[in-house]
A and B are shown apart, each in its own frame.
Chain A
Amino acid sequence: MNDILIAVIPVVIIGIVCAAVLVIASKIMAVKEDERFPAVRDCLPGANCGACGFAGCDGYAKALCENPDTPANLCIPGADSVAKQLGEVLGVEVADVVEQVAVVHCSGDCEHTQDKVAYSGIESCAAAKLMYGGKGSCTFGCLGLGDCAKACPHNAIYIENGVARVYTCDCIGCGVCTKTCPNHLISLVPDVKKVYVACSNRDKGAATRKVCSSGCIGCKKCEKVCPSGAIKVTDNVAVIDYEKCTDCGACAENCTTKCIRVEDLSGCHHYNP
Protein backbone atom coordinates (compact mmCIF):
# COMPACT_ATOMS: atom_id res chain seq x y z
CA MET A 1 0.00 0.00 0.00
CA ASN A 2 2.74 2.36 1.01
CA ASP A 3 4.63 1.70 -2.24
CA ILE A 4 1.59 2.59 -4.31
CA LEU A 5 1.11 5.83 -2.41
CA ILE A 6 4.76 6.77 -2.86
CA ALA A 7 4.34 6.28 -6.61
CA VAL A 8 0.95 7.94 -6.94
CA ILE A 9 1.55 11.05 -4.86
CA PRO A 10 4.48 12.50 -6.88
CA VAL A 11 2.67 11.89 -10.16
CA VAL A 12 -0.47 13.57 -8.82
CA ILE A 13 1.55 16.51 -7.53
CA ILE A 14 3.36 16.91 -10.84
CA GLY A 15 0.02 16.67 -12.67
CA ILE A 16 -1.58 19.31 -10.48
CA VAL A 17 1.41 21.63 -10.82
CA CYS A 18 1.34 21.26 -14.63
CA ALA A 19 -2.42 21.84 -14.72
CA ALA A 20 -2.12 24.92 -12.51
CA VAL A 21 0.65 26.36 -14.66
CA LEU A 22 -1.39 25.78 -17.83
CA VAL A 23 -4.54 27.33 -16.38
CA ILE A 24 -2.69 30.38 -15.13
CA ALA A 25 -0.81 30.75 -18.41
CA SER A 26 -3.95 30.49 -20.51
CA LYS A 27 -5.67 33.10 -18.32
CA ILE A 28 -2.78 35.56 -18.31
CA MET A 29 -1.77 35.14 -21.91
CA ALA A 30 -5.19 34.77 -23.48
CA VAL A 31 -5.29 36.34 -26.90
CA LYS A 32 -8.33 38.54 -27.40
CA GLU A 33 -10.41 37.47 -30.37
CA ASP A 34 -12.93 39.74 -31.97
CA GLU A 35 -16.32 38.46 -30.81
CA ARG A 36 -17.73 39.11 -34.26
CA PHE A 37 -15.16 36.76 -35.83
CA PRO A 38 -17.11 33.47 -35.37
CA ALA A 39 -20.30 35.08 -36.70
CA VAL A 40 -18.50 36.53 -39.71
CA ARG A 41 -16.71 33.27 -40.36
CA ASP A 42 -20.02 31.38 -40.25
CA CYS A 43 -21.41 33.56 -43.04
CA LEU A 44 -18.64 32.56 -45.43
CA PRO A 45 -18.92 29.36 -47.48
CA GLY A 46 -15.69 27.80 -46.19
CA ALA A 47 -14.47 26.77 -49.63
CA ASN A 48 -11.11 28.50 -48.94
CA CYS A 49 -10.84 29.26 -52.64
CA GLY A 50 -9.05 32.60 -52.26
CA ALA A 51 -11.24 34.45 -54.76
CA CYS A 52 -11.55 37.34 -52.28
CA GLY A 53 -7.79 37.85 -52.36
CA PHE A 54 -7.24 36.79 -48.74
CA ALA A 55 -5.73 33.56 -47.42
CA GLY A 56 -8.88 31.47 -47.22
CA CYS A 57 -12.18 32.21 -45.49
CA ASP A 58 -10.47 32.65 -42.10
CA GLY A 59 -8.20 35.30 -43.56
CA TYR A 60 -11.11 37.20 -45.10
CA ALA A 61 -13.16 36.99 -41.90
CA LYS A 62 -10.19 38.32 -39.93
CA ALA A 63 -9.69 41.19 -42.36
CA LEU A 64 -13.39 42.06 -42.17
CA CYS A 65 -13.29 42.20 -38.37
CA GLU A 66 -10.04 44.12 -38.06
CA ASN A 67 -10.33 46.59 -40.91
CA PRO A 68 -13.72 48.25 -41.40
CA ASP A 69 -12.64 49.42 -44.87
CA THR A 70 -12.55 45.86 -46.23
CA PRO A 71 -15.40 45.53 -48.73
CA ALA A 72 -17.92 42.87 -47.74
CA ASN A 73 -18.78 41.93 -51.31
CA LEU A 74 -15.55 40.12 -52.18
CA CYS A 75 -16.87 36.58 -51.73
CA ILE A 76 -17.68 35.61 -55.30
CA PRO A 77 -18.77 32.00 -54.61
CA GLY A 78 -21.11 33.22 -51.87
CA ALA A 79 -22.56 35.93 -54.12
CA ASP A 80 -25.27 38.31 -52.94
CA SER A 81 -26.70 36.12 -50.18
CA VAL A 82 -23.37 35.97 -48.32
CA ALA A 83 -22.68 39.67 -48.90
CA LYS A 84 -26.09 40.47 -47.42
CA GLN A 85 -25.45 38.32 -44.34
CA LEU A 86 -22.03 39.88 -43.86
CA GLY A 87 -23.63 43.30 -44.10
CA GLU A 88 -26.10 42.40 -41.37
CA VAL A 89 -23.45 40.98 -39.03
CA LEU A 90 -21.05 43.87 -39.51
CA GLY A 91 -23.73 46.52 -39.83
CA VAL A 92 -22.49 48.02 -43.07
CA GLU A 93 -23.93 48.73 -46.50
CA VAL A 94 -22.85 46.16 -49.07
CA ALA A 95 -22.57 46.68 -52.80
CA ASP A 96 -23.78 43.97 -55.16
CA VAL A 97 -21.37 41.14 -55.85
CA VAL A 98 -20.24 40.82 -59.44
CA GLU A 99 -20.78 37.12 -60.02
CA GLN A 100 -18.27 35.61 -62.38
CA VAL A 101 -17.87 32.37 -64.25
CA ALA A 102 -14.83 30.76 -65.76
CA VAL A 103 -14.58 30.52 -69.55
CA VAL A 104 -11.99 28.54 -71.49
CA HIS A 105 -10.39 30.56 -74.29
CA CYS A 106 -9.72 27.62 -76.59
CA SER A 107 -11.87 25.73 -79.03
CA GLY A 108 -9.19 23.40 -80.34
CA ASP A 109 -11.06 20.11 -79.95
CA CYS A 110 -10.32 16.93 -81.87
CA GLU A 111 -12.18 18.14 -84.98
CA HIS A 112 -10.34 21.45 -85.26
CA THR A 113 -6.76 20.67 -84.35
CA GLN A 114 -4.41 17.68 -84.35
CA ASP A 115 -1.82 16.09 -82.12
CA LYS A 116 1.76 16.53 -83.23
CA VAL A 117 3.14 13.80 -80.97
CA ALA A 118 1.80 10.85 -78.99
CA TYR A 119 2.21 11.81 -75.34
CA SER A 120 2.34 9.06 -72.72
CA GLY A 121 3.91 10.82 -69.75
CA ILE A 122 2.44 12.06 -66.50
CA GLU A 123 -1.27 12.86 -66.78
CA SER A 124 -0.82 16.53 -66.03
CA CYS A 125 -0.94 19.63 -68.22
CA ALA A 126 1.95 21.22 -66.32
CA ALA A 127 4.17 18.20 -67.05
CA ALA A 128 3.06 17.90 -70.68
CA LYS A 129 3.69 21.62 -71.20
CA LEU A 130 7.37 21.08 -70.37
CA MET A 131 7.76 18.65 -73.28
CA TYR A 132 7.92 20.95 -76.31
CA GLY A 133 4.77 22.80 -75.23
CA GLY A 134 2.44 19.81 -75.11
CA LYS A 135 1.20 17.18 -77.53
CA GLY A 136 -1.12 19.38 -79.59
CA SER A 137 0.09 21.17 -82.70
CA CYS A 138 -1.08 24.48 -81.19
CA THR A 139 1.20 25.33 -78.27
CA PHE A 140 -1.16 28.03 -77.00
CA GLY A 141 -4.18 25.76 -76.74
CA CYS A 142 -5.76 23.49 -74.16
CA LEU A 143 -3.53 20.55 -73.27
CA GLY A 144 -6.57 18.49 -72.39
CA LEU A 145 -5.08 16.62 -69.43
CA GLY A 146 -7.38 18.24 -66.92
CA ASP A 147 -5.20 20.09 -64.38
CA CYS A 148 -8.05 22.61 -64.14
CA ALA A 149 -10.63 19.86 -63.65
CA LYS A 150 -8.55 18.40 -60.80
CA ALA A 151 -8.06 21.81 -59.20
CA CYS A 152 -11.71 22.87 -59.40
CA PRO A 153 -13.20 22.74 -55.88
CA HIS A 154 -16.71 22.29 -57.30
CA ASN A 155 -16.01 19.76 -60.07
CA ALA A 156 -17.37 22.25 -62.56
CA ILE A 157 -14.76 21.58 -65.27
CA TYR A 158 -14.61 18.53 -67.49
CA ILE A 159 -12.60 17.57 -70.56
CA GLU A 160 -14.71 17.05 -73.65
CA ASN A 161 -13.19 16.09 -76.96
CA GLY A 162 -9.75 17.18 -75.77
CA VAL A 163 -10.76 20.62 -74.53
CA ALA A 164 -11.69 21.79 -71.06
CA ARG A 165 -15.30 22.90 -70.70
CA VAL A 166 -17.06 24.59 -67.79
CA TYR A 167 -20.45 23.65 -66.36
CA THR A 168 -21.45 27.24 -65.81
CA CYS A 169 -24.15 26.17 -63.39
CA ASP A 170 -21.64 24.56 -61.03
CA CYS A 171 -18.93 27.20 -61.45
CA ILE A 172 -18.64 29.37 -58.34
CA GLY A 173 -16.27 31.85 -59.96
CA CYS A 174 -13.42 31.32 -57.51
CA GLY A 175 -10.72 31.48 -60.17
CA VAL A 176 -8.60 28.57 -58.92
CA CYS A 177 -8.52 27.16 -62.46
CA THR A 178 -7.23 30.44 -63.92
CA LYS A 179 -4.12 30.04 -61.79
CA THR A 180 -3.74 26.34 -62.57
CA CYS A 181 -3.80 26.35 -66.37
CA PRO A 182 -0.19 26.40 -67.62
CA ASN A 183 -1.35 28.15 -70.81
CA HIS A 184 -3.51 30.68 -68.92
CA LEU A 185 -6.52 29.80 -71.08
CA ILE A 186 -9.17 30.28 -68.44
CA SER A 187 -10.40 33.67 -67.30
CA LEU A 188 -13.31 34.95 -65.25
CA VAL A 189 -16.11 36.76 -67.03
CA PRO A 190 -19.14 38.54 -65.51
CA ASP A 191 -21.88 35.92 -65.68
CA VAL A 192 -24.43 38.29 -67.25
CA LYS A 193 -22.40 38.26 -70.49
CA LYS A 194 -22.86 35.79 -73.32
CA VAL A 195 -20.00 36.39 -75.76
CA TYR A 196 -16.43 35.18 -75.39
CA VAL A 197 -13.41 34.52 -77.60
CA ALA A 198 -12.55 30.81 -77.67
CA CYS A 199 -8.93 31.16 -78.77
CA SER A 200 -5.67 32.35 -77.24
CA ASN A 201 -3.27 31.75 -80.13
CA ARG A 202 -0.98 34.78 -80.41
CA ASP A 203 0.71 33.61 -83.62
CA LYS A 204 0.12 35.39 -86.94
CA GLY A 205 -3.02 34.36 -88.82
CA ALA A 206 -1.32 32.00 -91.27
CA ALA A 207 0.52 30.12 -88.53
CA THR A 208 -2.66 29.84 -86.47
CA ARG A 209 -4.63 28.58 -89.46
CA LYS A 210 -2.06 25.85 -90.03
CA VAL A 211 -2.48 24.33 -86.56
CA CYS A 212 -6.18 24.91 -85.84
CA SER A 213 -9.17 25.47 -88.06
CA SER A 214 -11.10 27.36 -85.39
CA GLY A 215 -8.31 29.62 -84.14
CA CYS A 216 -8.42 33.41 -84.17
CA ILE A 217 -6.49 34.60 -87.20
CA GLY A 218 -6.58 38.25 -86.21
CA CYS A 219 -8.57 39.39 -89.28
CA LYS A 220 -10.12 42.30 -87.30
CA LYS A 221 -13.57 41.71 -88.83
CA CYS A 222 -15.02 41.69 -85.32
CA GLU A 223 -13.37 45.03 -84.58
CA LYS A 224 -15.11 46.57 -87.56
CA VAL A 225 -18.60 45.22 -86.87
CA CYS A 226 -18.63 45.86 -83.12
CA PRO A 227 -21.00 48.84 -82.56
CA SER A 228 -19.56 49.70 -79.16
CA GLY A 229 -15.84 49.27 -79.87
CA ALA A 230 -15.55 46.58 -77.21
CA ILE A 231 -13.47 44.06 -79.12
CA LYS A 232 -9.84 44.65 -80.09
CA VAL A 233 -7.29 42.42 -81.75
CA THR A 234 -4.16 42.53 -79.60
CA ASP A 235 -1.21 40.20 -80.26
CA ASN A 236 -3.10 38.57 -83.14
CA VAL A 237 -6.00 37.46 -80.97
CA ALA A 238 -9.36 39.15 -80.34
CA VAL A 239 -9.96 40.33 -76.78
CA ILE A 240 -13.31 41.55 -75.47
CA ASP A 241 -13.53 44.49 -73.07
CA TYR A 242 -16.49 43.45 -70.93
CA GLU A 243 -16.93 46.98 -69.57
CA LYS A 244 -18.02 48.10 -73.05
CA CYS A 245 -19.51 44.88 -74.44
CA THR A 246 -23.29 45.04 -74.88
CA ASP A 247 -23.73 41.36 -75.71
CA CYS A 248 -25.13 42.10 -79.19
CA GLY A 249 -23.31 39.15 -80.71
CA ALA A 250 -22.38 40.93 -83.94
CA CYS A 251 -18.75 39.81 -83.63
CA ALA A 252 -19.73 36.16 -83.26
CA GLU A 253 -21.97 36.28 -86.34
CA ASN A 254 -19.22 37.76 -88.49
CA CYS A 255 -16.26 35.79 -87.14
CA THR A 256 -14.37 34.12 -90.02
CA THR A 257 -13.30 31.04 -88.07
CA LYS A 258 -16.22 31.01 -85.60
CA CYS A 259 -13.89 31.28 -82.64
CA ILE A 260 -16.11 33.93 -81.02
CA ARG A 261 -18.94 32.13 -79.29
CA VAL A 262 -22.29 33.05 -77.82
CA GLU A 263 -23.26 30.87 -74.90
CA ASP A 264 -25.37 31.28 -71.81
CA LEU A 265 -22.73 31.99 -69.16
CA SER A 266 -25.11 32.72 -66.32
CA GLY A 267 -23.87 30.71 -63.40
CA CYS A 268 -26.69 29.74 -61.13
CA HIS A 269 -24.91 30.83 -57.93
CA HIS A 270 -27.34 28.91 -55.83
CA TYR A 271 -25.00 28.61 -52.88
CA ASN A 272 -27.02 28.23 -49.69
CA PRO A 273 -25.31 28.51 -46.35
Chain B
Amino acid sequence: MTKFIIILLSAVFVNNYVLSRFLGICPFLGVSKKLDSATGMSLAVIFVMLMATAATWPIQTFLLDPNGLGYLQTIVFILVIAALVQLVEIVLKRYIPSLHQSLGVYLPLITTNCAVLGVTILNITESYTFLESMVNSLGSGLGFFLAMVMFSGVRSKIEGADIPESFKGLPVTLVAASITSLSFLGFGGVVENMFPV
Protein backbone atom coordinates (compact mmCIF):
# COMPACT_ATOMS: atom_id res chain seq x y z
CA MET B 1 0.00 0.00 0.00
CA THR B 2 2.81 2.38 0.96
CA LYS B 3 4.37 1.78 -2.42
CA PHE B 4 1.22 2.87 -4.21
CA ILE B 5 1.04 6.05 -2.14
CA ILE B 6 4.68 6.80 -2.86
CA ILE B 7 4.15 6.26 -6.59
CA LEU B 8 1.01 8.41 -6.60
CA LEU B 9 2.48 11.30 -4.63
CA SER B 10 5.78 11.35 -6.45
CA ALA B 11 3.98 11.30 -9.80
CA VAL B 12 1.85 14.26 -8.75
CA PHE B 13 4.45 16.41 -7.02
CA VAL B 14 8.07 15.28 -7.42
CA ASN B 15 8.07 14.00 -10.99
CA ASN B 16 5.28 16.25 -12.19
CA TYR B 17 5.03 15.62 -15.92
CA VAL B 18 4.78 19.22 -16.96
CA LEU B 19 6.82 21.01 -14.35
CA SER B 20 9.66 18.53 -13.71
CA ARG B 21 9.83 16.27 -16.76
CA PHE B 22 8.77 18.97 -19.24
CA LEU B 23 6.45 16.67 -21.13
CA GLY B 24 3.12 17.93 -22.45
CA ILE B 25 4.26 21.55 -22.59
CA CYS B 26 2.16 22.18 -25.69
CA PRO B 27 -1.25 21.92 -24.00
CA PHE B 28 0.26 23.46 -20.86
CA LEU B 29 0.90 26.69 -22.75
CA GLY B 30 -1.86 26.37 -25.31
CA VAL B 31 -4.98 25.50 -23.33
CA SER B 32 -4.19 27.09 -19.95
CA LYS B 33 -5.63 30.49 -20.79
CA LYS B 34 -9.01 29.81 -19.21
CA LEU B 35 -9.80 27.73 -16.15
CA ASP B 36 -12.65 25.76 -17.72
CA SER B 37 -10.72 24.73 -20.81
CA ALA B 38 -7.73 23.87 -18.60
CA THR B 39 -9.87 21.57 -16.45
CA GLY B 40 -11.52 20.03 -19.51
CA MET B 41 -8.16 19.29 -21.08
CA SER B 42 -6.72 17.87 -17.85
CA LEU B 43 -9.69 15.57 -17.26
CA ALA B 44 -9.31 14.29 -20.82
CA VAL B 45 -5.59 13.72 -20.19
CA ILE B 46 -6.25 11.74 -16.98
CA PHE B 47 -8.82 9.66 -18.83
CA VAL B 48 -6.58 8.97 -21.83
CA MET B 49 -3.50 8.25 -19.69
CA LEU B 50 -5.40 5.55 -17.78
CA MET B 51 -6.86 4.06 -20.97
CA ALA B 52 -3.51 4.13 -22.75
CA THR B 53 -1.70 2.45 -19.87
CA ALA B 54 -4.37 -0.21 -19.61
CA ALA B 55 -3.87 -0.97 -23.31
CA THR B 56 -0.10 -0.62 -23.74
CA TRP B 57 1.13 -2.42 -20.62
CA PRO B 58 -0.32 -5.80 -21.72
CA ILE B 59 0.96 -5.25 -25.26
CA GLN B 60 4.49 -4.67 -24.00
CA THR B 61 4.44 -7.52 -21.48
CA PHE B 62 2.63 -10.21 -23.45
CA LEU B 63 3.37 -9.30 -27.07
CA LEU B 64 6.59 -7.34 -27.50
CA ASP B 65 8.82 -8.62 -24.68
CA PRO B 66 8.34 -12.39 -25.22
CA ASN B 67 9.12 -12.00 -28.93
CA GLY B 68 12.16 -9.78 -28.42
CA LEU B 69 10.47 -6.85 -30.13
CA GLY B 70 11.04 -4.35 -27.30
CA TYR B 71 12.65 -1.92 -29.73
CA LEU B 72 9.29 -1.46 -31.50
CA GLN B 73 7.86 0.01 -28.30
CA THR B 74 7.60 3.64 -29.40
CA ILE B 75 5.98 3.11 -32.78
CA VAL B 76 3.56 0.46 -31.55
CA PHE B 77 2.54 2.59 -28.58
CA ILE B 78 1.87 5.61 -30.79
CA LEU B 79 -0.21 3.49 -33.12
CA VAL B 80 -2.22 1.89 -30.34
CA ILE B 81 -2.81 5.10 -28.39
CA ALA B 82 -3.93 6.99 -31.51
CA ALA B 83 -6.37 4.26 -32.48
CA LEU B 84 -7.58 3.92 -28.91
CA VAL B 85 -8.35 7.62 -28.53
CA GLN B 86 -10.28 7.65 -31.80
CA LEU B 87 -12.22 4.58 -30.68
CA VAL B 88 -13.01 6.18 -27.32
CA GLU B 89 -14.24 9.26 -29.11
CA ILE B 90 -16.59 7.25 -31.31
CA VAL B 91 -17.91 5.31 -28.32
CA LEU B 92 -18.43 8.46 -26.26
CA LYS B 93 -20.22 10.22 -29.10
CA ARG B 94 -22.65 7.32 -29.40
CA TYR B 95 -23.32 6.45 -25.78
CA ILE B 96 -22.37 9.39 -23.53
CA PRO B 97 -22.96 12.53 -25.63
CA SER B 98 -22.73 14.81 -22.59
CA LEU B 99 -19.20 13.60 -21.76
CA HIS B 100 -18.33 13.84 -25.45
CA GLN B 101 -19.52 17.46 -25.43
CA SER B 102 -17.23 18.39 -22.57
CA LEU B 103 -14.17 16.32 -23.55
CA GLY B 104 -14.84 16.23 -27.28
CA VAL B 105 -12.60 19.08 -28.40
CA TYR B 106 -9.67 17.92 -26.33
CA LEU B 107 -9.65 14.20 -27.08
CA PRO B 108 -8.17 14.41 -30.60
CA LEU B 109 -5.63 16.93 -29.30
CA ILE B 110 -4.20 14.39 -26.86
CA THR B 111 -3.96 11.58 -29.40
CA THR B 112 -0.25 12.09 -29.89
CA ASN B 113 0.53 14.06 -26.75
CA CYS B 114 4.00 13.32 -25.46
CA ALA B 115 2.86 13.23 -21.82
CA VAL B 116 0.59 10.30 -22.63
CA LEU B 117 3.28 8.49 -24.59
CA GLY B 118 5.79 9.39 -21.88
CA VAL B 119 3.76 7.88 -19.06
CA THR B 120 3.21 4.61 -20.93
CA ILE B 121 6.89 4.24 -21.80
CA LEU B 122 8.12 5.25 -18.33
CA ASN B 123 5.79 2.64 -16.79
CA ILE B 124 7.74 0.03 -18.73
CA THR B 125 11.23 1.44 -18.01
CA GLU B 126 10.46 1.68 -14.29
CA SER B 127 9.30 -1.97 -14.59
CA TYR B 128 6.08 -1.32 -12.70
CA THR B 129 3.46 -4.06 -12.35
CA PHE B 130 0.10 -3.47 -14.01
CA LEU B 131 -1.49 -2.00 -10.87
CA GLU B 132 1.52 0.19 -10.17
CA SER B 133 1.40 1.41 -13.75
CA MET B 134 -2.24 2.39 -13.40
CA VAL B 135 -1.52 4.24 -10.14
CA ASN B 136 1.42 6.00 -11.77
CA SER B 137 -0.76 7.04 -14.72
CA LEU B 138 -3.45 8.34 -12.40
CA GLY B 139 -0.83 10.30 -10.46
CA SER B 140 0.68 11.70 -13.64
CA GLY B 141 -2.75 12.76 -14.85
CA LEU B 142 -3.52 14.41 -11.52
CA GLY B 143 -0.14 16.15 -11.63
CA PHE B 144 -0.98 17.45 -15.09
CA PHE B 145 -4.35 18.63 -13.76
CA LEU B 146 -2.67 20.40 -10.85
CA ALA B 147 -0.14 22.12 -13.11
CA MET B 148 -2.82 23.21 -15.60
CA VAL B 149 -5.19 24.60 -12.98
CA MET B 150 -2.38 26.36 -11.11
CA PHE B 151 -1.00 27.86 -14.28
CA SER B 152 -4.38 29.04 -15.56
CA GLY B 153 -4.62 30.97 -12.28
CA VAL B 154 -1.16 32.43 -12.83
CA ARG B 155 -2.10 33.42 -16.36
CA SER B 156 -5.27 35.18 -15.33
CA LYS B 157 -3.13 37.23 -12.94
CA ILE B 158 -0.72 38.03 -15.77
CA GLU B 159 -3.63 39.23 -17.94
CA GLY B 160 -4.25 42.11 -15.58
CA ALA B 161 -0.63 42.90 -14.78
CA ASP B 162 1.27 45.86 -16.14
CA ILE B 163 3.91 44.20 -18.32
CA PRO B 164 6.61 45.84 -20.48
CA GLU B 165 5.52 45.89 -24.12
CA SER B 166 8.23 43.51 -25.34
CA PHE B 167 7.29 40.89 -22.75
CA LYS B 168 3.57 40.81 -23.48
CA GLY B 169 2.02 37.55 -24.63
CA LEU B 170 4.16 34.45 -24.94
CA PRO B 171 7.44 35.72 -23.39
CA VAL B 172 5.90 36.52 -20.02
CA THR B 173 3.96 33.26 -20.14
CA LEU B 174 7.19 31.31 -20.59
CA VAL B 175 8.87 33.22 -17.77
CA ALA B 176 5.88 32.52 -15.52
CA ALA B 177 5.94 28.85 -16.52
CA SER B 178 9.61 28.54 -15.58
CA ILE B 179 9.04 30.18 -12.19
CA THR B 180 6.07 27.88 -11.54
CA SER B 181 8.21 24.85 -12.38
CA LEU B 182 11.01 26.19 -10.16
CA SER B 183 8.59 26.14 -7.24
CA PHE B 184 8.04 22.43 -7.76
CA LEU B 185 11.77 21.80 -7.16
CA GLY B 186 10.86 22.26 -3.50
CA PHE B 187 9.10 18.87 -3.52
CA GLY B 188 12.33 17.01 -4.38
CA GLY B 189 13.03 14.33 -1.79
CA VAL B 190 9.92 15.11 0.25
CA VAL B 191 7.97 11.97 -0.63
CA GLU B 192 10.91 9.59 -0.19
CA ASN B 193 11.55 10.96 3.31
CA MET B 194 7.87 10.89 4.26
CA PHE B 195 7.84 7.09 4.25
CA PRO B 196 11.23 5.91 5.54
CA VAL B 197 11.79 2.30 4.52
> Which A residues have a C-beta under 8 Å from some C-beta of B?
6-7, 10-11, 14-15, 18-19, 21-22, 25-26, 29-31, 122, 127
A-facing residues in B35-89 (Cβ within 8 Å): 63, 67, 69, 71-72, 75-76, 79-80, 82-83, 86-87
CB pair B72 A11 closer than 8 Å: yes
User: Which residue of B is nearest A28, CB measured?
Assistant: B94
CB pair A11 B79 closer than 8 Å: yes
> Which B residues have a C-beta under 8 Å from some C-beta of A?
63, 67, 69, 71-72, 75-76, 79-80, 82-83, 86-87, 90-91, 93-95, 160
CB contacts (< 8 Å) of B93 on chain A: these are 29, 31
A/B pair count, beta carbons within 8 Å: 42
Name the prevailing secondary structure of the A interface residues.
helix
Given A11-B72, A122-B160, does the pair A18, B90 have CB atoms closer than 8 Å?
A: no
Of B83, B91, B94, most buried by chain A (CB within 10 Å of CB) is: B83
User: Which residue of A is nearest B92, CB measured?
Assistant: A29
Given A15-B79, A122-B160, A127-B160, does the pair A10, B69 have CB atoms closer than 8 Å?
A: yes
Q: How far is the CB of B184 from chain A (nearest CB, A)?
A: 29
Complex alpha-carbon distance, A26 and B86, angstroms: 10
Complex alpha-carbon distance, A15 and B160, angstroms: 49
Given A26-B90, A29-B91, A31-B93, does the pair A21, B83 have CB atoms closer than 8 Å?
A: yes
CB pair A21 B94 closer than 8 Å: no
Given A7-B72, A10-B72, A11-B72, does the pair A22, B160 have CB atoms closer than 8 Å?
A: no
CB pair A14 B79 closer than 8 Å: yes
CB pair A25 B87 closer than 8 Å: yes
CB pair A14 B80 closer than 8 Å: yes
User: Which residue of A is nearest B64, CB measured?
Assistant: A10
CB pair B94 A7 closer than 8 Å: no
CB contacts (< 8 Å) of B94 on chain A: these are 29-31
CB pair B69 A6 closer than 8 Å: yes
